[in-house]
Structure 1
Amino acid sequence: MGNHVTIDLPQDWFEDKDFLGFALCSAYVPLDDESKDDFEHGFEDKSEIQSENESDHDEWAHKSEDESENGSAYKFDNKSKYEYSPCSLECDLTFHGDQSKFSIYPSLSSWCECCENDGASGQTWVLYYPKFAIEKKYHSNTWGRLKASFHGYFNGMPVKVEKCGMQLIYAKNDEYNRPTLTTMPDTWNMECLQKLYLDGTAIKEIPSSIDSLSILVEFYTRNCKNLESLPRSICRLKYLQVLCCTNCSKLGSFPEVMENMNNLRELHLHGTAIQDLPSSIENLKGLEFLDLASCKKLVTLPTHICNLKSLKTLHVYGCSKLNKLPKSLGSLQCLEHLDAGCLGSIAPPLPSFSGLCSLRILHLNGLNLMQWSIQDDICRLYSLEVLDLTNCNLIDDGTADEIFHLSSLQVLLLSRNHISKIPAGISQLSKLQVLGFSHCEMAVEIPELPSSLRSIDVHACTGLITLSNPSSLFWASLFKCFKSAIQAWNLHATFVQDLECGNHCYDPSPEAWPDFCYFGQGISILIPRSSGIPEWIRHQKNGSRVTTELPRYWYKNKDLLGFALFSVHIPLDNESVDISEDEDLPCCSLKCELTFRGDQFAFLDDLSLDSWCECYKNDGASGQVWVLYYPKVAIKEKYHSNKWRRLKASFHCYLNGTPVKVEKCGMQLIYVDNDVYSRPTKIQHSDSQENLGDQRSTVEDVNVNDRRSCDDAQNTTQKTHLPIMQYTNGNDPDVQDDEQNHMSRWLNLLFNIIECICCGRQ
């Protein structure tokens, strides 16, 4: 049941010539009358935009098909009344490895008329995805698991997936149900074997003759639930580089390392029943990766582990009986990633980390870090990029100021602590790009933030009432962040190329992601619902879609920085929340689709935010507002054209894979002088009478929504500001001086425009 399904892939699945691909199926729940949306995705609804001109619409409807720039722009004519297809089915195929993953996105669109009357709920989508269609760079057996997530949209509204399924397809149908291996042979005649996969088998032990595989390089026994022990002879495999026993839940011990295993690079013991490690573990001189996460029976770590001079990654997350870390942990000078979150009750202080000169990622989430339990020498971690202090029982005086001297820090997670305010020292973190501060219920204010920030999460901070004030320090800081991001993109051409490829600037490595991840350009912010959509967002709509008209030369206007986007979601009934057991499926997934509309329409960008915050299992999404700052510089150059006159934003939300209705959304154009969003100021122009017609056209297009009639213009000339305005800071002294110096010329120009209009009518 539900919209996602996950399977473990067999060993050597990619190299298996009999394996052809995957069969995928999904079925949809019939829509009730309340959930149907009869709107059309075109722009006939004049209430959806600020203004609409019927003659313009008729002109667009008969444009030549030759004017389409690319294949993604569809002709909008009398034969097609939908901007998008009435039925759109999507599948997200995600292949998971030990430390990374990649995704494929097949989809189906249908213009069948039955979809308008909910005919799609009477069908099942079947997809056969071939193995050879996988991109060449991912041709590997290292991807051990495949997850398929399905989504459906009928008339633009998401619908619930009732059921889905997945099946591996082989050349012969009788191979669908292969027998499970229960015993291993005592003798081996495979002296040249280099990789051995026993994943998911029912074996209880590995025979001691395993050492006859003298050149074995990789050995996998993942999810062998009955495996109880490893033979000592396994340590004689001197060429072995990878030993993976992940989720062998009955594996209670690791053998003494009495042989030369200098080539072993990775040791995966995640989710095993191991209670301790032998002191001889120090003989693994070349070990770089040690995973002991979720070893619920692990009590101690031997001090000898600190002699692993090549160790780069150490995971002990979730070892609930482990209440002590080795004091000499700082001697691991090559260590880059330490995950020591959710351990047993560790008495302060923590061991010194000062010697970890290569450490980039430090997870201490879930530890009870009382006052001064973080030693002052943490500021010596000059390479640290990610620091996770989520749910550490921190108080205002217990947050070491030395944290704010970590000059390389990019991700700081302080959620679920007892902090009333973020220390002002955070502004010193000049490279900080991700800040997690959700569920800090005592928080009452946010100080000035570093301009490098790109993703912020402060949802469920119920005390942050100041966020509703558009002139608050928080919004001012965000505006500085937005301008800083644009400056960085303009300075680095290669960064703009990365944007076009969909790369993300704040992701140090896949395993370093926090419990929320923004995929897209610009800045993402989650704020409490109590703040609502600020009043300075001029274009607000009930529902999931909002459209705004663009100034004629929006792409040339250097003062136009981009767009602010907001969405709010309707609270769910408890009965409608289906809790997923899939750890990889985000508890909350927010999506925003941006599209251009002109004489054709074209897809612009797809932005998304995934969060694994536990509150979403209890409808936490209804307590937040999603804010996006999308930069104009991220728009591809091929769209820099006057024909794209409207921008549409469509929002979607999923809780545990179930679609949630968007209650309200909004959009606002952001200009350079944006300190006071609602105040008018004039725009620059030329005095030349010869160019009066061009001036008039330019003035009208600065904001098409402020068009005035001839009578309105006459009345407005008696006022102290212009009828055609751009939203900038009216308090700017330079602007006020400019108004005084040029007011007479502006008035003369307006009278000339009125005179031309009146003459034209006669």
Structure 2
Amino acid sequence: MKNMKSLVFMNLRGCVMLSSLPERLHLISLKTLILSGCSRFKKFELNSENLEFLHLDGTAIKNLPKSIKNFQKLVLLNLKDCKMLESLPYCLAKLKALEELILSGCESLTRFPDIKENMKNLQILLLDRTSIKELPNMLLHCVKCKDQVVCRQPFRMNGVSLLRHLCLRGNKDICSLGSSISQLYHLKWIDLKYCDSLLSISTLPPNLQCLDAHGCISLKTVAVPLALLMPTTQQVPASFIFTNCGKLEQAAKNQIVCYAHSKSHLLSDALNRHNKGFAFETLVATCFPGSEVPAWFSHIASGAELYPELPGHWSENGSVGIALCAIVSFEHYKTRNNNLQLKCRCEFDDVETLSSNFNCHIGGLFETGDEERTIKSTHVFIGYTNWLDIEKCQEEDNKKKCVPTKASIKFEVTNGTNDVTNCEVLKCGFSLVYESGSWEASLGTECVTHCEGILSGFLRGIKWLFQ
């Protein structure tokens, strides 16, 4: 036992006859304990103040002991596929160093304890295939100062949860995310795939890079706005996926497009400040069920190609980017490993410079593993790319020519390597995007007014934020 006190790593993976650890086991130096796949393991008791990584996945435990609060250095707690796990202790909040909590497949877990403290160091929370009915309030508590909530100010983020990755995939009970989710300012990725009971999506936090709501068959509405808007220094593209959301109302689709448009303005502004306006990738992309190119697109064509003629001096008329749209028909197409991409190639005919030809992805599907995803019916894909500054390209090439007025645009669906033959581009659209203009024509006055008001307010805040 004296030798065991200096043990740093213990791997008991797959010991199917193990039901518990020896009593009074005191491992002072232990940092990693792996009990993965010990299917008869029911009782967990351990004294180890330096434990950092604890893997109990695939065990038969029903609950965690209160003594777990002593693991003040614990960074990872893995309880994946603990199908007998019924509850978590209130003292979970005492794990101040915890960064990753994995509860995937804990199908007997229906709720979190009412934890009053914010687990502000938690960065990854995986709740897929659990039975919880609402988000744990440990994520949503605001910091209080003299009994006043201070995290309502979007620029004051001291004490706000550091959560970056939230997975609720396959949850059958959650109907809504709750309004407080907008306070998770560090959240980058939300996986809502196959949340069958989800009816609405509340206003989301401002720094999301991916929202994947594929297969939310009951989803009807989204909040106005879909997510908060904030001035940003980030130049990371964002994607909002609503494939197979067959009940999504038209007003919700309008709001998704409205938010994507406004988000692209902010990202474009960040690019202009830091990269002089050059970007040959999509800033914001979204997709949802539908069969028509929105009416505000100035150029619409049948099939996968279109040849718009642009107005003279279009680069000097306040345009801030380009919007691209494609209507894609799927015949129960199955994809895995994030290999479906909708690509666009754009060529400006009367400019002889390589910078005037560019490819961009205007849609794609995101998978974290090899799970197969089936796409049904016809979907609308819309992407926004940054302003392609032809004049700057020409200046770099020491050439001074007229701004191009003709373009050739071609869309294609690929699996990352080859064209996908059983997915057809039925229609496509192209439009210049202006700081203000007719892009909103089909969205409705209420949505447009709200969208423009929020955007202009936050754009005014950019100068203040970065002084």
TM-score by length of 1: 0.45
Separation in 2, partners of 1:547, 1:439: 34
Specify which of 242, 249, 272 is matched with residue 490 of structure 1.
272
User: How far did residue 333 of structure 1 move?
Assistant: 0.7
Aligned 8 A contact 1:596 1:644 in 2? no
Tell me the residue number matched to 1:402.
Answer: 180
Do residues 379 (structure 1) and 141 (structure 2) align?
yes
Aligned 8 A contact 1:652 1:661 in 2? yes
Specify which of 529, 539, 558 is matched with residue 299 of structure 2.
539
Alignment of 1:279-290 (within 5 A): 279-280=45-46, 282-283=47-48, 285-290=49-54
What SS class does the counterpart of residue 104 from structure 2 fall into? coil
> 2:297 is aligned with what amino acid?
I
Do residues 463 (structure 1) and 226 (structure 2) align?
no
Note closer, same or farther for the CA distance 1:527–1:275 as it changes in structure 2 (3 Å cut): same
Alignment of 1:413-432 (within 5 A): 413-415=191-193, 416-423=195-202, 426=203, 429-432=205-208
Residue ranges of structure 2 left out of the alignment (5+ in a row): 143-159, 231-236, 443-448, 453-467
Note closer, same or farther for the CA distance 1:617–1:360 as it changes in structure 2 (3 Å cut): closer
Tell me the residue number matched to 2:374.
Answer: 619
Tell me the residue number matched to 2:352.
Answer: 599
User: How far did residue 259 of structure 1 move?
Assistant: 6.2
Separation in 2, partners of 1:272, 1:633: 57
Note closer, same or farther for the CA distance 1:669–1:373 as it changes in structure 2 (3 Å cut): closer
Q: Which has the larger radius of gyration?
A: 1
Tell me the residue number matched to 1:722.
Answer: none
What SS class does the counterpart of residue 611 from structure 1 fall into? coil
User: How far did residue 551 of structure 1 move?
Assistant: 5.6
Aligned 8 A contact 1:332 1:355 in 2? no
> 1:632 is aligned with what amino acid?
W
Tell me the residue number matched to 2:384.
Answer: 629
Specify which of 286, 290, 302 is matched with residue 525 of structure 1.
286
Separation in 2, partners of 1:403, 1:387: 11
Separation in 1, partners of 2:214, 2:184: 22
More helix by share: 1
Note closer, same or farther for the CA distance 1:348–1:458 as it changes in structure 2 (3 Å cut): same
Alignment of 1:64-143 (within 5 A): none
Per-residue CA distance 1:466-523 (angstroms, 9 max, x = gap):
1598xx44433332222122223334x2xx49997x9xxxxxxxxxxxxxxxxx5400
User: How far did residue 553 of structure 1 move?
Assistant: 5.1
Note closer, same or farther for the CA distance 1:309–1:647 as it changes in structure 2 (3 Å cut): farther
Specify which of 215, 240, 250 is matched with residue 439 of structure 1.
215
Aligned 8 A contact 1:325 1:351 in 2? no
Per-residue CA distance 1:645-669 (angstroms, 9 max, x = gap):
4363432243999934332333222
Separation in 2, partners of 1:573, 1:412: 25
Aligned CA-pair RMSD: 4.4
What SS class does the counterpart of residue 487 from structure 1 fall into? helix
Note closer, same or farther for the CA distance 1:558–1:433 as it changes in structure 2 (3 Å cut): farther
Per-residue CA distance 1:34-90 (angstroms, 9 max, x = gap):
xxxxxxxxxxxxxxxxxxxxxxxxxxxxxxxxxxxxxxxxxxxxxxxxxxxxxxxxx
Specify which of 29, 36, 39 is matched with residue 262 of structure 1.
29
> 2:29 is aligned with what amino acid?
N
Aligned 8 A contact 2:189 2:211 in 1? yes
Separation in 1, partners of 2:38, 2:359: 43
Aligned 8 A contact 2:14 2:39 in 1? yes
Aligned 8 A contact 2:212 2:366 in 1? no
Note closer, same or farther for the CA distance 1:298–1:622 as it changes in structure 2 (3 Å cut): farther
Separation in 1, partners of 2:34, 2:187: 28
Do residues 356 (structure 1) and 119 (structure 2) align?
yes
What SS class does the counterpart of residue 463 from structure 1 fall into? coil
What SS class does the counterpart of residue 268 from structure 2 fall into? helix
Per-residue CA distance 1:671-701 (angstroms, 9 max, x = gap):
222344679xxxxxxxxxxxxxxxxxxxxxx
Alignment of 1:163-242 (within 5 A): 235=4, 238=7, 240=8
Tell me the residue number matched to 2:445.
Answer: none
> 2:321 is aligned with what amino acid?
G
> 2:238 is aligned with what amino acid?
R
Note closer, same or farther for the CA distance 1:591–1:475 as it changes in structure 2 (3 Å cut): closer
Separation in 1, partners of 2:21, 2:320: 61
> 1:418 is aligned with what amino acid?
S
Separation in 2, partners of 1:661, 1:378: 42
Note closer, same or farther for the CA distance 1:465–1:355 as it changes in structure 2 (3 Å cut): closer
Do residues 565 (structure 1) and 324 (structure 2) align?
yes
Tell me the residue number matched to 1:165.
Answer: none
What SS class does the counterpart of residue 262 from structure 1 fall into? coil
Note closer, same or farther for the CA distance 1:298–1:422 as it changes in structure 2 (3 Å cut): same
What SS class does the counterpart of residue 316 from structure 2 fall into? coil
Specify which of 276, 297, 301 is matched with residue 64 of structure 2.
301
Tell me the residue number matched to 2:464.
Answer: none
What SS class does the counterpart of residue 522 from structure 1 fall into? strand
Specify which of 375, 383, 388 is matched with residue 167 of structure 2.
388
Tell me the residue number matched to 2:411.
Answer: 650
The more displaced of 592-601 and 654-663 is 654-663
Note closer, same or farther for the CA distance 1:613–1:643 as it changes in structure 2 (3 Å cut): farther
What SS class does the counterpart of residue 383 from structure 2 fall into? strand
What SS class does the counterpart of residue 379 from structure 1 fall into? coil
> 1:337 is aligned with what amino acid?
E
What SS class does the counterpart of residue 263 from structure 2 fall into? helix
Do residues 275 (structure 1) and 33 (structure 2) align?
no
User: How far did residue 301 of structure 1 move?
Assistant: 3.4
Note closer, same or farther for the CA distance 1:644–1:332 as it changes in structure 2 (3 Å cut): farther
User: How far did residue 613 of structure 1 move?
Assistant: 9.3
User: How far did residue 279 of structure 1 move?
Assistant: 1.4
User: How far did residue 557 of structure 1 move?
Assistant: 2.6
Q: Percent identity?
A: 17
